[in-house]
Chain A
Amino acid sequence: MEGLGLLVNGFVNSFTVVNLVACFVGALIGTIVGVMPGLGPTATMALMLPFTLSYGATTGLIMMTGVWYGAMYGGSTTSILVNIPGEAASVVTCLDGYQMSKKGRAGAALALVAIGSFVAGTIGILGLQFFAPLLGNAALSFGPPEFLCFMIFAFVLLSNLSAEAPLKGALMIAFGLFLSTIGINPMDSYPRFTFGVEKLMLGIDFLPVAMGLFGVSEILSIALEKYVRPQINRVRLRELYPSREEARRSVYPALRGSILGFFMGLLPGPCTVISTFVSYALEKKISKNPGEFGHGAVEGVVGPESANNSAVMGSMIPLLTLGIPFAAPSAIMLAGLRMHNVEPGPMLFTSHPDVFWTFIAAMYLGNIMLLILNLPLVGAFAKIAMIRPQILMPIISVICLVGVYSVRNSLFDVWVMIIAGVVGLFLRKWKYPIAPFIIGVVLGPTTENSLRQTFLMFRGDLSLVADRPISVTFLALAAAFLAFKFAAPFFGKKFPLKIEEESKL
């Protein structure tokens, strides 16, 4: 009952003009970003960070989750209408969504996806509401060795799941961890890698690096591409009604996708993308007519789209309960919360319960807003995909410049952003994943603290980790994953969860 009271309180808090506007703006911008091939949710969230600083932590969190969530809703629109995924998590939707569109069922596909996403979002929020406080309490028993081992487990999975070549993922994590060591070490006030440069004493700020790697590099990447004007099928409001058969066939895929996506969201890496592939494979496997997949099967559209929405909520669990982001967008959120002096983790539910419960309540409202936005305005959103990058990119470029400067009135930060942007462009070209790098930067201080505290606790004798069952479990899982990965080729098995996310962050 305490949870219900806190949720009601959360609804009261979220019904402020600022929070409602933040939720609406986040959802709207997210949908627009999802619709437009090019800029992804991570880049947009990084660009929006400076603008959330004028408001509270809760408002900032609501706005950024709205963007992420909205992008999942909007991403399907161009997949279905144009056969171009608005963002990476909608690639699978192209397979059957566009085929439905060619059969004149685009409106029905869009409506079913919107309703499926709404159901998945609601189930995801319910899961988050139920599991997050439980896991938060369980995480209170975590000491430095547990955090360290959990981080090792997360890094192993992250490097393997987010890159074409796991070594490149591992290198990016290590480089991110290094970047976080620059500046005065708070544990012993020792300046490291500053080389006498005063600006480096406080370390490299996260925001310019994130805006450079996700925002500027994306702008440069789009600027170098040849623009092909998409042809969009028109959809009228009356065409949005699915047939009774289509609606019936969508019920179970939406539910399965929701539950599957939520648990996939707990995995480190591009969970939203992975969830869509797994959901599609599952639907095809259990379908009575697998041959229909790829030719306009409604299950192949609704299942994956439900899964990616639910995965967003699942991925909030490690962020909110442990303070450990598993995906690039949640790393940006963590940075945003830290800017507001809110440290997510086990103590969040006791030190800032209002942040969590207001966020949950706002997500329920955001989910309804997205459904209302997406159904009648689908035609308008589809037209947004027609805006040329020659118009959009100059606007986003100068917003990046002024935005990053405005946070600390620092031209040094703008230089950092541009350098990170150019480096990020080449990293994308060479298939170095950026998400593990940014997660490394964010988790660097926690990793170092956990490592040093573990050493101090055990007086240098790391064999004592064996006496900590949770730590041993995480290490065993990491070892088992690596063993499976290395052994699979010897048994003639392919390792399927190799998702390249950098095409669109």
Chain B
Amino acid sequence: MGKAAKFRLETCFDFLMLVLGIVIAAVSWGYGFGSFGRPGPGLYPFFIGAAIAIFAFFILVSDLRSDTGKPVLDKEGAVTLILMTVTFCLWIVAMPLLGYVVVTLLAAFAFCKILKLEGWWRPLAVSGGTALFIYLLFDYWMYIDLPRGILG
């Protein structure tokens, strides 16, 4: 998994940066390069794109030549990452509908369970306390009006 995992992830990222740099330079050229005496809107990002492409190219070459790849995530880590990210995303989707207090409570509970906080009482206490703290902080202290959803 060692070298292969590195190739799949880090090398792909380096390659993506190389492509991104080229795309930035190309799109910038389209905005109008102007001249050095009268620079257009594309001049600065063109140089930035070119720099990204050049740096990414050398990093990519160096990565391909290196053989010290280590897996970035093990299976358990990958599952934790996916679950954490999904919980973050669900907060965004559900918050306008259900209100920030309820969704924050549920999200905090989910985070506790994903991070393997034992039992039910502790996660409930942590998530309940957090939701109450957030409510007091934003509603009573900072007077910020956030979506209340079903709680009105």
- A interface with B by C-beta (< 8 Å): 51, 54, 165, 167-168, 170-171, 174-175, 177-178, 181, 185, 187-188, 190, 192-193, 216, 219-220, 223-224, 388-391, 393-395, 397-399, 401-402, 405-406, 409, 411, 414-415, 418, 421-422, 425-426, 429-430, 447-448, 451-452, 455-456, 459-462
Contact = CB atoms under 8 A, between A and B. Distances in A.
Interface string B116-150: 11000010001100110110001000101010000
Given A171-B52, A178-B52, A188-B41, A406 B111 contact: no
Nearest to A425: B81
A62 B39 CA distance: 40
Nearest to A175: B52
B93 to A, nearest CB: 9
Given A174-B48, A178-B49, A406-B138, A192 B39 contact: no
A19 to B, nearest CB: 17
B89 interface: yes
Given A167-B59, A397-B108, A402 B31 contact: no
Contacts of B28: 192
A461 B35 CA distance: 11
Q: How large is the interface on B (under 10, 10 to 19, 20 to 34, 35 or more residues)?
A: 35 or more
Given A224-B81, A418-B85, A456-B39, A192 B31 contact: yes
B45 A401 contact: no
Contact of A398 (B31, B42, B92, B107): B107
A395 B37 CA distance: 54
Contact of A460 (B36, B131, B134): B36
Contacts of A178: 24, 45, 48-49, 52
A224 B80 contact: yes
Nearest to A172: B55
A222 B72 CA distance: 14
Given A220-B81, A397-B108, A418 B44 contact: no
Nearest to A181: B45
7 nearest A-B residue pairs (beta carbon):
A460-B36, A460-B37, A394-B111, A190-B41, A171-B55, A390-B117, A390-B115
A174 B51 contact: yes
A448 B130 contact: no
A394 B89 contact: no
A168 B111 CA distance: 32
Given A171-B56, A192-B42, A395-B126, 12 more contacts: A171-B17, A174-B52, A220-B81, A394-B117, A397-B84, A397-B107, A398-B134, A414-B91, A418-B85, A451-B39, A452-B39, A456-B39
Q: Is the interface of B mostly helix, strand, loop or mixed?
A: helix
A167 to B, nearest CB: 5
A219 B51 CA distance: 31
Interface of B: 9-10, 13, 17, 21, 24, 27-28, 31, 35-39, 41-45, 48-49, 51-52, 55-56, 58-59, 62, 72-73, 77, 80-81, 84-85, 88-89, 91-92, 95-96, 100, 104, 107-109, 111-112, 114-117, 122, 126-127, 130-131, 133-134, 138, 142, 144, 146
Contact of A430 (B13, B37, B51, B144): B13
Contacts of A193: 24, 27, 45
A398 B104 contact: yes
Nearest to A54: B142
Contact of B45 (A192, A216, A402): A192
A187 to B, nearest CB: 8
B95 A405 contact: yes
Contacts of A393: 111, 115
Nearest to A187: B41
A389 B115 contact: yes
Contacts of B109: 394
A406 B41 CA distance: 33
Given A406-B138, A426-B72, A397 B35 contact: no
16 contacts: A178-B48, A181-B44, A187-B41, A190-B41, A192-B31, A220-B84, A224-B77, A395-B108, A395-B133, A398-B104, A398-B130, A401-B88, A402-B100, A414-B92, A418-B88, A452-B44
Contact of B37 (A223, A421, A455): A455
Nearest to B52: A174
A455 B52 contact: no
Contacts of B114: 223
A460 B146 contact: no
Contacts of A455: 36-37, 39, 43
Nearest to B6: A430
B13 A426 contact: yes
A56 to B, nearest CB: 15
B47 to A, nearest CB: 8
Contact of B80 (A190, A223, A391, A430): A223
A178 B48 CA distance: 6
Contacts of B107: 394, 397-398, 401
A171 B59 contact: yes
- Name the residue among B44, B89, B122 with the largest chain A CB count within 10 angstroms: B44
B85 A422 contact: yes
A393 B89 CA distance: 17
